[in-house]
Structure 1
Amino acid sequence: MLTLTNLDSFYGRSQALHDVSVTARAGTILAVLGRNGVGKTTLLRSILGLTDRQSGAIRLEGEDLAAQPTYRRAKAGIAYVPQGRMIIPDFTIRENILMGGFAAKGPRAIPEIVPKIFPYLMDNLDRPGGVLSGGQQQQLAIARALAAEPKVLLMDEPTEGIQPNIVEQIEDIIIRLNTELGLTIILVEQNVGFARRAAHDFAMLENGRVVADGAIASLTEETVTRHMAI
């Protein structure tokens, strides 16, 4: 589905990713793991063309998007749930969701699955996004991304900063998006337990390089300790 080959990515003169090659197989969840600051968020931003410069190939269903601007990558089928959610606080829930539909092939609309997985949002469409709790804002950020009708969903630490009683709900929703919609998901995650429960494959980053990857069943405690322990 989405294949990165020999990807280098830069912020100014600083190289953040080095020769990264990974594949997110169609209909699977790829967990991107590693300590803070090793390039996980940069990997997602690079897929969308949000770094200053990059080289290498980024292929979605065989089409190389590496030379395309961000909006064309979005229209090709890549949506992003960023770290920190980045909803617009003065927009209503409805407006935030519909804003994500600029990349959809049809008219902007609230996705059919949203009432099923986020009933609170549907019951409060006219509330400003800024009054929502952290967990509710994360739901809104996911709903906004789904409005783009994506083939691939990029998610950057989607349970970070969310109250503990909501974390498991968000985790279950991510799994449902994969199993019920067949969405391919690239999931940046620090929670190894959740990664093992949700993902099919993994890529471990360190210093902007892939140092281990493969089926999630092959992720050993030794690898986790070596590359994630503080």
Structure 2
Amino acid sequence: MLTMTNLEGCYGRSRALTGVCLTVPKGQITGIMGRNGTGKTTLLKTIMGLTDNTQGTITLDGKDISAAPSHMRARAGIAYVPQGRGIIPDFTVRENIVMGGFANRSGRRAVPEKLAELFPYLTANLDRPGGLLSGGQQQQLAIARALAAEPDVVLLDEPNEGIQPSVVEDIERVILRMSREFGLTVVLVEQNIGFLRRAASTFAIMEKGRVAQTGRVEDLTDAIVDRHMTI
């Protein structure tokens, strides 16, 4: 579904990714791990076309999108949920969700029906300003906005960071359903190793802007985690 070959991404003149090669299986969750500052967020931004001077190749379902601008990558079927959520606080819940629909290839500009089951609080409060939601509710809103684009691939950057435990469980259930019920391909940056082991099929560990190790999640041993994640 999504393949990166010799991928490099920069911020200005500072190179943040070097020679990244990674294949993300279709319809599965791939967990991206690593210490802080190793390039995990940069990888997602580079996939989305949000870094400078990108080199290498990115293919989506066999189509080269390396030169495509960000909005065309979104229209091609990639949705991105960044750290910090990126919702518009003065927009209502409805407006934030519908904003995601502008990348929808069908042209649909509405709140998808399936969101009522996934996010009952949001759909019961569609006219509430996004800025008045709790942090966990804003994270749910960011995911709902991404799903409104009806993507094939969803990039999630630490969706549970700083979220209250009760909402974390709800978000984790939604992520699992994205893959298992909706057949979406998910690239998940996640520091919670327990959840990653439960959710992901494959993993990649980043170190100094490179992919240091990949594999099936059942091969993600404690020794590997300690080697690459312990500070």
Which TM-score bucket, shorter chain as reference? over 0.9
Q: CA deviation at 1:112?
A: 2.3
Question: How far does residue 214 in structure 1 lie from its aligned partner after superposition?
Answer: 1.0
1:114 alignment partner in structure 2:
115
User: Which sits farther off after the overlay, 218-227 or 144-153?
Assistant: 218-227
Structure 2 CA distance, aligned partners of 1:181 and 1:63? Answer: 22
Q: Distance in 2 between matches of 1:166 and 1:67?
A: 38
CA shift, 1:164, in A, is 1.6
What CA distance in whole angstroms lies between the structure 1 residues aligned with 2:92 and 2:22?
A: 37
User: What whole-Å deviation, never above 9, does each CA across 1:43-68 have from its counterpart, x for those lacking one?
Assistant: 00000110011111100000010011
Report the counterpart of residue 167 of structure 2 in structure 1. 166
Q: What is the CA deviation profile of residues 74-108 of structure 1, one whole-angstrom value per residue up to 9, with x for unaligned ones?
A: 10000001111111000000000000111102221
Q: Structure 1 unaligned runs (5+)?
A: none
- Counterpart residue number, 2:218: 217
Tell me the distance in 1 between the aligned counterparts of 2:76 and 2:105: 10
Distance 1:220 1:162 in 2: 27
Does the alignment pair 1:124 with 2:128?
no
Give the partner amino acid of 2:117: K
How far apart, CA to CA, are the structure 2 residues paired with 1:135 and 1:180?
Answer: 23
Confirm whether residue 154 of structure 1 aligns to residue 146 of structure 2.
no
Number of residue pairs matched?
A: 230
- The CA distance in 2 between the partners of 1:68 and 1:126, in whole Å, is 35
Q: Does 1:186 align with 2:187?
A: yes
Aligned residue for 2:53?
53
TM-score (norm 1): 0.98
Letter in 2 for 1:47: I
CA distance in structure 1 between the partners assigned to 2:21 and 2:183 by the alignment: 23
SS at match of 2:94: helix
- CA root-mean-square deviation: 0.7
Q: Which runs of 4+ in 1 moved over 3 A?
A: none
TM-score calculated relative to the size of structure 2: 0.98
Aligned pairs (5 A) from 1:199-214:
199-214=200-215
Amino acid at match of 2:95: E
Determine the C-alpha separation between the residues in 1 that align with 2:12 and 2:90.
33
Structure 2 unpaired stretches of 5+: none
**Could you tell me how far apart the structure 2 residues matched to 1:222 and 1:55 are?**
33
Give the distance between the partners of 1:192 and 1:112, measured in 2 at CA: 32
Cα distance, 1:177 vs. partner? 1.2
Q: Which amino acid aligns with 1:70?
A: S
Question: Which residue is equivalent to 1:92?
Answer: 92
1:181 match: secondary structure: coil
Cα distance between partner residues in 1 of 2:174 and 2:200: 13
